[in-house]
Amino acid sequence: MFAILPGFLVGLSLIVAIGAQNAFVIRQGLTRQHVFAVVAICAIADAALIAFGIAGLGAAIASLPWLLEGIRWFGVAYLTWFGIRSIRSALKTQSFDAGAGQSASLKTVILSVLGFTLLNPHVYLDTVILVGSVANQFDENKWWFGAGAMFASLVWFSAIGYGSRAASKWMTKPIFWKVLDFAIAAVMFSVALTLAFYRF
């Protein structure tokens, strides 16, 4: 508990902000499509990145600024494209069946969630570098700290994915989906601008 609880709290504090990844998870939950796959990919990716950070990858990434720079501009392009797509969806949506409408293939959903997860340099700064460096302060308990952070990720993504799925039956009116798509577009554009002008 000495290491697990701080790890859980640190991990949770880094992922609760509504960013591009969380917005996508919430939307998939509301559409009730491939929720398990989305939650699992997000949690597994975070766990892997945290483990890499504890194992020492953070120092390597910190010494390769060009790598984060390349990821940054891929992320800007990807988020901008998804934001434009969300606006187009909001403008043309006339009706929506949360259980059946606007279906996306599992492959498309997997590629999308991987994009939101891996094309954001902040995820490497947060999980690999920050969590990894803090975990190593716990010496022999560093992996327990990492386990706490990994569990926080699993709890959070499960909560927003399945929580929004449970709430979707009350959110079938077309106006809700128009507002949601505009809100998601705003999140994507704001994160893209942050990535474009943030000094790493």
pLDDT digits (tens, 9 = 90+) for 18-42: 678 888 898 898 888 899 999 999 9
Q: Which residue has the higher pLDDT, 94 or 107?
A: 107
CA angle, 41 as apex, 169 and 195 as ends, to 5°? 95
- pLDDT of 150 > 90? The answer is yes
| Spans of all domains in the chain | 4-197
How does pLDDT run across 53-85, given as a tens digit for each residue?
888 876 776 677 777 778 778 878 878 887 888
Closest residue by Cα to residue 49 from 129, 112, 139: 129
Give the per-residue pLDDT at 124: 82
Give the per-residue pLDDT at 147: 94
- pLDDT of 101 > 50? The answer is no
Phi then psi dihedrals of residue 34, to 5 deg: 55, 35
How does pLDDT run across 36-51, given as a tens digit for each residue?
999 999 999 999 999 9
